[in-house]
Amino acid sequence: MENDLANKLRKFALSEKEEEGIVISEEGIASSLQECVLSLMGKVYGEKKVNFHGLKATLGAIWITKQPFSIKSLGDNLFQFLFQCEEDKDKILQGKTWSFDDQYILLKQWHADKLNFTADDEVIKIWVQIHNMPLH
């Protein structure tokens, strides 16, 4: 099996067009960064892998926004939520603690220099209701 892979890799070659690569203009970079300013990063915490289409349908139904939003999967239960206006983005970010399929969704503002979730980000505010607890 290793030999098969090694043989395939030896035969691997880029075409002339692929070797040229791609060029991204300054305007293209600026445009992409501007789009991301209206983004939230979200991580779904839990043991289950998230069903992307289910997440999209559920949040589309409960997040009442003025304009449509889109979701990109970034892998490992990490998502980018792209909004069309600041008001919608802020409303969702300041909203309640969100969950999907009994797993919490941690949302944070997108920043170009910080794309990963760290231990500092892993704080989720929740309400707990306790019945029959003695007051003294």
Mean pLDDT of 114-133: 71
Q: What confidence score (pLDDT) does residue 118 get?
A: 60
Task: Give residue 1's pLDDT band: very low, low, confident or very high (50, 70, 90).
Answer: low
Q: What confidence score (pLDDT) does residue 83 get?
A: 95
Chain centre to alpha carbon of residue 75: 8
Structure tokens at 45: 């915490």
Strand partners, 11: none
Give the C-alpha separation, 10 to 131, whole Å.
67
Task: Give residue 18's pLDDT band: very low, low, confident or very high (50, 70, 90).
Answer: confident
Between 120 and 66, residue with greater pLDDT: 66
Which of 25-34, 75-84, 109-118 shows the lowest per-residue confidence on average (mean pLDDT)?
109-118
Mean of per-residue pLDDT scores for the chain:
84
Give the C-alpha separation, 34 to 32, whole Å.
5
Residue 8 backbone dihedrals phi, psi, to 5 degrees: -65, -40
Give the C-alpha separation, 81 to 32, whole Å.
14
Domains, the chain, in order of start with CATH, read: 37-127 (3.30.70.330)
Chain centre to alpha carbon of residue 55: 11
Asked if pLDDT for residue 120 goes beyond 60, the answer is no
Task: Give residue 116's pLDDT band: very low, low, confident or very high (50, 70, 90).
Answer: low
